Amino acid sequence: MTRTCLITTLLCAAVLLGGCTGVKSYEREMLADPLMSFSRDPVSDMYIDHVYDVREGARGATTTQGGGCGCN
């Protein structure tokens, strides 16, 4: 129950923030830079996420999309 509350609150807060941030289109120079990207090198990020996925119990909610494998 509290998890649902938390997710809904976070989503609503973020959605509301969207209208209030006030970053104009002509001020987005920094945001377009690769250093501000969530995943600058997809192949590298996919590989390192795979290395962890194979050796840990946790999976998901990373910056890359995983496929399946028999890496138990």
Task: For tokens 């973020």, name the residue.
Answer: 14
* CB neighbours of residue 17 within 10 Å: 9
Min separation Cβ 64 and other proteins, Å: 11
Q: Tell me if 34 sits within 8 A of 40, measured CB to CB.
A: yes
Binding map of other proteins across residues 25-44, x = CB under 8 A, - = no contact? xxxxxxxxx-xx-x-xxxxx
Q: Is 58 in the site for other proteins (CB under 8 A)?
A: yes
Q: Indicate the DSSP class of residue 29.
A: T
Please give the residue ranges that form the binding site for other proteins (CB under 8 A). 1-5, 7-12, 14-21, 23-33, 35-36, 38, 40-44, 46-48, 51-52, 54-63, 65, 67-72
